[in-house]
Amino acid sequence: MKSFYITTPIYYANDVPHIGHAYTTVAADVAARWRRLRGDTVRFLTGTDEHGSKIAQAAAAKGQSPADYLEGVVAHYKALWTRLNISHDDFIRTTEERHKRVVQQVFERLLKQGDIYLGSYEGWYCVPDETFWAQGDLIDGRCPTCGRLVEKIKEESYFLRLSAYEKRLLDYYEQNPDFLQPKFRAPEIVQFVKGGLNDLSVSRVKVAWGIPVVSNPRHTVYVWIDALSNYITALGYDLEKPGPLFNQFWPADIHLVGKEIYRFHAVIWPVLLMALGLPLPKQVFAHGWWTVEGEKMSKSKGNVVDPHIVAADYGVDAFRYFVLREVPFGSDGDFSLSALAGRYNAELANALGNLLNRVLTLLEKNFDGSLDVPTDPVLVPARAGDWLADYDGVLSRLAFSEALEKVMGLVSRANKYADEQAPWKLVKTDLAKAHPVLVEMARALKLAALALHPFMPTVTQEMWSQLGESEPLAQAAPDLIKSGTIGFTPGQKIKKGSPLFPRKEVPGKAGSGPASKPA
Ligand code: MSP
């Protein structure tokens, strides 16, 4: 059995999640669910990044201890993942003992072998914000977030010797062309490394809320060694004796990240792994960013999209569908309620939902719900193995919108076939001719349910049951995908239920709009 390990970034626990965090997590979930449907052994990791002054400050602002504050934020994350039907196998928090212990081991090992050394860090420090800035970050010599004056500081810091790894990194990129994905983002990384790497400051004496450096506890580990190591600490990596999960799932198949942290995953993380003598992940994939109604999302603008609200208005499955359908994965995109309502109505309510409803109604009324009749496989070949193999290839490239186009192409062919054959007329004139037409459409819907399952786990299971399948979709899938046989068993009858996607009014049109707007 193939094993497949996919991760999301660990999200900063200084605030509650929004649509950007949900996007990465839903995408990883779809990839993980598809692999499970194929019968692979999957490990899907997400979690929270819980150290640093930003978190200590957020807690202080609420009059809470960091630990109490974190409990609250982490509960929000976990509740959202439950709501969005995320099927992660593990949730790592960087404040957990399993993580801290290994980060400390890793730091000491790299120090001992000379990949980490003690030097001094010079930079700009915003005292009230407790934040370090590089010269280039400053705005008119002031802190870019609070606008106050910054102080130039020079202090002791440990450094990771990135500069020693330039050649090895470049060789790795060249020999592993699939590592940097999507391909159009790779040159940015290669150029960055070719431009020469500075050693990276990896400890602070001024940040108390962090993992102490064992051999020099005045220092705490600063950001990236702590954060990136989560991908192995969660598998039970240990310098003395890596656990069985590590042996089974490392190297990761895909680290999914937003484009702003691509560089850290494509440069620092490989260096850390090389220094530890560990294999590198097979792929780092950076997706684009969402704007909202054409604008950057920000708290001050008040346009931050809360996935809970969208899911309440449109359903969890439609939310998951929309974010991966709207924008080619990898590119930037814009979220708008009118685009959401438009796609929901055109693709989910009209094309998919109505098709199912029409087919089931006609089968129920005229054939006692029976699916038991041989069909002429015009929509779906008798063996749909090629279709599924192609679909598998598309999803393996994480080309989610392309995958959804492929399924919706099948659905629109089924709708066109319905228009041509007009089974609602045929049932009045030629029942024997009408039956196979309807069952052929049901076959297309069965294949669509299977293919859409990772995107819309609940609704597709409902479609599946309405089509009279008794074995749960997820259980039936591995054999079905292997055999490619999409059909119905003798005596199988549909079980019509309520319509899957009730139509929505498009926002902006008179007397309409979803119940509430994203906060
Ligand atoms: N803690 C670091 C990551 C460490 S990984 C070892 C971090 N956390 S974060 O909370 O800022 O989350 C960043 C991630 O959230 C992005 O990489 C991306 O996956 C997602 N997004 C946040 N805002 C986003 C958009 N506006 N659009 C799309 N995704 C974005 O960085």
pTM for the predicted model, two decimal places: 0.95
Ligand 1 pocket mutation, candidates 10, 14, 23, 93, criterion most atoms within 8 A of CB? 23
What is the C-alpha R_g of the chain? 26
Q: What's residue 514's pLDDT?
A: 42
Q: Write the pLDDT tens digit of every residue in 65-92.
A: 999 999 999 999 999 999 999 999 999 9
Which helix (H) or strand (E) segment holds residue 284: the answer is: strand 284-287
Ligand 1 touching residue 257 (CB < 6 A): yes
pLDDT, residue 461, reads 98
Contact call for residues 352 and 309 (beta carbons, < 8 A):
no
Indicate whether residue 264 lines ligand 1 (CB < 6 A). no
**Nearest 5°: phi and psi at 234?**
-70, -20
Of all protein residues, whose CA lies closest to atom 24 belonging to ligand 1? Answer: 20
**Backbone phi and psi for residue 261, each to the nearest 5 degrees, phi listed first:** -120, 15
**CA–CA–CA angle 242, 244, 246 (5° rounding):** 60
Q: pLDDT tens track of the chain, all 519 residues? A: 799 999 999 999 999 999 999 999 999 999 999 999 999 999 999 999 999 999 999 999 999 999 999 999 999 999 999 999 999 999 999 999 999 999 999 999 999 999 999 999 998 998 888 888 988 899 999 999 899 999 999 999 999 999 999 999 999 999 999 999 999 999 999 999 999 999 999 999 989 999 999 999 999 999 999 999 999 999 999 998 889 999 999 999 999 999 999 999 999 999 999 999 999 999 999 999 999 999 999 988 999 999 999 999 999 999 999 999 999 999 999 999 999 999 999 999 999 999 999 999 999 999 999 999 999 899 998 889 999 999 999 999 999 999 999 999 999 999 999 999 999 999 999 999 999 999 999 999 999 999 999 999 999 999 999 999 999 999 999 999 999 999 999 999 999 999 999 998 876 644 334 444 333
Tell me if the bond preceding 17 is cis, omega within 30° of 0: no
Pocket test for ligand 1, best of 6, 49, 269 (most atoms within 8 A of CB): 49
Please state the atom number of ligand 1 nearest to the C-alpha of residue 297: 26
- Residue 416: which H helix or E strand, with range? helix 400-421
3-state secondary structure 17-30: CCHHHHHHHHHHHH
Longest dimension (CA), the chain: 89
- d(CA 269, CA 224) in angstroms, rounded, equals 8
Ligand 1 pocket member 10 (CB < 6 A) = yes
Going by C-alpha positions, the residue among 505, 501, 466, 494 that lies closest to residue 354 is: 501
Task: Round to whole Å and give the CA distance between 120 and 28.
Answer: 39
Q: Which pLDDT score, from 0 to 100, does residue 489 have?
A: 96
Taking the CA of residue 230 as reference, the ligand 1 atom at the shortest distance is: 6
In tens, the pLDDT along 117-158 reads: 999 999 899 888 888 898 889 999 999 989 999 999 999 999
Model pLDDT, residue 505: 80
| Contact 9 CB / ligand 1 (< 6 Å) | yes
Q: Is 52 in the pocket of ligand 1 (CB under 6 A)?
A: no
Q: Is 142 left (phi over 0), alpha (psi -120 to 50) or beta?
A: beta
Are residues 344 and 54 in contact, defined by beta-carbon separation less than 8 angstroms?
Answer: no
Pocket of ligand 1 contains residue 290 by CB under 6 Å: yes
Ligand 1 atom nearest residue 256's Cα:
19
**Strands (DSSP E) found in 295-380:** 333-335
> What is the model's pLDDT at position 511?
38
Note the pLDDT of residue 508.
60
Taking the C-alpha atoms of residue 501 and residue 161, their distance in angstroms, rounded to an integer, is 55
Q: What are phi and psi of 298, to 5 degrees?
A: -155, 150
261 CB under 6 A from ligand 1? yes
DSSP 150: -
Query: Cα angle vertex 258, ends 33, 339, to 5°?
Result: 75
Collapsed DSSP state (helix, strand, coil) of residue 4: strand
Structure tokens at 296: 């950057």
Question: What are the chain's domains?
Answer: 336-483 (1.10.730.10)
Tokens 């050693």, located at residue: 199
Rounded-to-integer distance, Cα 442 and Cα 363, Å:
10
CA dihedral 403→480→435→426, nearest 10 degrees, is 10
Query: Rounded CA gap, 188 and 173, in Å?
Result: 12
Task: Determine contact, residues 357/434, Cβ cutoff 8 Å.
Answer: no
Q: How far is CA 288 from CA 21, 24, 265, 331, 451, in A?
A: 12, 10, 15, 5, 24
Does ligand 1 have an atom closer than 6 angstroms to the CB of 258? Answer: yes
pLDDT per position as a tens digit, 351-382 = 999 999 999 999 999 999 999 999 989 999 88
Q: Which long-range contacts (CB under 8 A, 24 or more apart) does 401-407 make?
A: 401/324, 401/325, 401/326, 401/327, 401/328, 401/329, 402/328, 403/451, 404/321, 404/324, 404/325, 404/452, 404/455, 406/451, 407/448, 407/451, 407/452
C-alpha–C-alpha distance, residues 181 and 252, integer Å: 14
- Tokens standing for 95? 């404040």
pLDDT (0 to 100) of residue 134: 86
